[in-house]
């Protein structure tokens, strides 16, 4: 989403979530591009949609409006194509106690506030992504049980520090913890590219239980400076081969994260579902 919005003119330092309100046509066009590419699930443009993240841009008092509108935009495209909408919850940006001052109860309240608006906008499932701290994951799961008890919840973490999260969590330990905590799906997103994601996916597969799905959404490689902007160095063909290997490892939900354009998604879909 960020890649497409930047290509559409989103300036550096401007939160993509603001465009849900100020340039909804661009957000809708991004969703439509992924839908046309064969995506089966659209993710709302709300990664930074918690109050602390929006406060950084003077938007904290518009949490409900930002998230509700984002869900409605994704819903409108999804309904045209028969797709599902995932309500996206990113990290709050705050450290939980004892490393920081945010309590787990406060984190749950922040996620619940965001999720309430996403549910009002019509999401089908909850996607909590790019987390480092299992405590924050627990808070998000508790918020989902509070606000949207009937919706499935997927939680993915970013294992970008020597195959661990910034807080030292290993992939297998994350899967075991999230399964026990009641997540419907667990996995990894972002990271350092397809090759590392496949190592992570193998560790997750070893730790899986029968009652949880596994998710993997890798960045399209690593960003490289090309002229006045960044481009990611994994081609659509690279990501298609990656998707096939993930499926062989037992990953149930395959997607793309940073730098994954509709062309990448189309190639991945064609590799996973030939013809």
Q: Which fold has domain 1-272?
A: TIM Barrel (3.20.20)
Short-list 271, 255, 216, 263, CA closest to 236: 263
Query: Is 190 labeled as ligand-binding?
Result: yes
Q: Which two tokens stand for residue 30?
A: 């991004």
Predicted local distance difference test score (pLDDT) of residue 275? 59
CB count in 10 Å sphere of residue 154: 25
Residue with tokens 């902007």: 229
* The pair of three-digit structure tokens given for residue 11, joined into one six-digit string: 């300036």
- Residuewise pLDDT in 10s, the chain (275 residues): 988 998 899 998 999 999 999 999 999 999 999 999 999 999 999 999 999 999 999 999 999 999 999 999 999 999 999 999 999 999 999 999 999 999 999 999 999 999 999 999 999 999 999 999 999 999 999 999 999 999 999 999 999 999 999 999 999 999 999 999 999 999 999 999 999 999 999 999 999 988 899 999 999 998 887 777 778 889 999 999 999 999 999 999 999 999 999 999 999 999 998 75
CB-count burial class (<10 Å; 0-12, 13-18, 19+) for 87: buried
The region that residue 193 occupies, defined by phi over 0 for left and psi between -120 and 50 for alpha, beta otherwise, is left
Give the start-to-end residue ranges of the domains of the chain.
1-272
Residue 122 annotated in ligand binding: no
Contacts of 10 (CB under 8 A, 6+ apart): 2, 16, 19, 26
Q: Is 131 annotated as contributing to ligand binding?
A: no
């Amino acid at each position: 989403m960020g890649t497409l919005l930047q290509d559409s003119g989103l300036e550096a330092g401007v939160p993509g979530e603001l465009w849900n309100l100020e340039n909804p046509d661009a957000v809708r066009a991004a969703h439509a591009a992924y839908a046309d590419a064969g995506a089966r699930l659209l993710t709302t443009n709300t990664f930074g949609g918690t109050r602390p993240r929006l406060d950084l841009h003077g938007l904290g008092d518009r949490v409900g409006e930002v998230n509700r509108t984002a869900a409605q935009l994704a819903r409108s495209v999804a309904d045209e194509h028969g797709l599902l909408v995932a309500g996206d919850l990113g990290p709050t940006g705050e450290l939980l106690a004892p490393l920081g001052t945010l309590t787990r109860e406060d984190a749950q309240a922040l996620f619940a506030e965001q999720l309430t608006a996403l549910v009002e906008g019509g999401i089908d499932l909850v996607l909590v992504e790019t987390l480092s701290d299992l405590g924050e994951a627990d808070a998000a799961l508790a918020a989902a049980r509070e606000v949207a008890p009937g919706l499935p919840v997927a939680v993915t973490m970013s294992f970008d520090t020597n195959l661990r999260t910034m807080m030292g969590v290993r992939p297998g330990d994350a899967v075991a913890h999230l399964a026990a905590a009641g997540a419907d799906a667990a996995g990894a997103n972002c990271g350092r590219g397809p090759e590392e994601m496949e190592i992570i996916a193998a560790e997750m597969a070893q730790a899986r239980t029968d009652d949880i799905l596994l998710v993997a959404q890798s960045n399209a490689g690593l960003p490289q400076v090309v002229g006045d902007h960044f481009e990611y160095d994994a081609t659509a063909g690279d990501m298609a081969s990656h998707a096939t290997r993930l499926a062989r490892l037992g990953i149930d939900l395959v997607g793309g994260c940073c730098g994954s354009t509709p062309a990448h998604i189309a190639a991945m879909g064609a590799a996973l579902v030939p013809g």
